[in-house]
Amino acid sequence: MSKPALAEPAAEAATPSAAPSAAGPDLLAVRALAARAQRSVFLVEGAGGVQGSGFVAWQAGGKSYLITSRALVAGVLRDGGNTVFVRRGRSFWEADIARADARSGLALLRVHDGIGRPLWRGARGVTDSLATGERAVVIPAGPDTPLEQASVGAWRNRSFLVDATANPLNVGAAVVGRRGRIAGVVVAVMPGGGNRVVPVGRACGSIRTCR
């Protein structure tokens, strides 16, 4: 059963590690938009203490639907379970695993409460697209977790790498593009460096019905 959210003091999202003087006004604007989006990114706890991130993609019928990486819920599904916990600060909710798709590497969680501003409204919400060489921002869970700017690498098998760090919380994290809109989902942190990102549009037909 879902736990009621506890009142939390308003907190500003962490500023990326690079000094403001090192970025142009466009990147600073993207950072500001990404910091706002971070309020919709939550900590996801799977089996065996596995932790990562997930973001509120849309809401329907009073429920919140979060997109995350299938890797975070794979252990739960393997054990025959169907629920994980979603946290933000001292507040937590039980989430059903609504769908999981091995091909795209994405999973959909359903929380029976409205817990955040959706980042992908509508069946075909507005998104950013990313091209090789562009800059993106990886947004893991937690208001105290730094946002991270990263360069988009070459596309391969309908996904691409960004040169973000091997932060475990990056798994399931939202990735936004130059306009601060949702662009992708980190599905894996690679051992040799970099994060593998799947475009959020791949959720259509795999974990979301898009018309």
Contacts 24+ apart (CB under 8 A), 5-8: 5/91, 5/93, 5/113, 5/115, 6/89, 6/90, 6/91, 8/88, 8/89, 8/90, 8/91
Per-residue pLDDT tens over the stretch 112-158: 999 999 999 765 667 898 999 999 999 999 878 889 999 999 898 89
Reduced to 3 states, what is the DSSP secondary structure of residue 129? coil
* Torsion angles phi and psi, residue 113, rounded to 5: -170, 160
Identify the pLDDT of residue 142. Answer: 81
Q: What are the structure tokens assigned to 14, written together?
A: 């962490």
The string of DSSP codes covering 106-123 is EEEEEESS--S--SS-ST
Stronger pLDDT, 192 or 185, i.e. the higher one:
185
What integer is the mean pLDDT of 176-188?
93
CA 206 – CA 131 distance, rounded (Å): 23
Q: Which has the closest alpha carbon to 187: 94, 74, 85, 64?
A: 74
Per-residue pLDDT tens over the stretch 57-75: 999 999 999 999 999 999 9
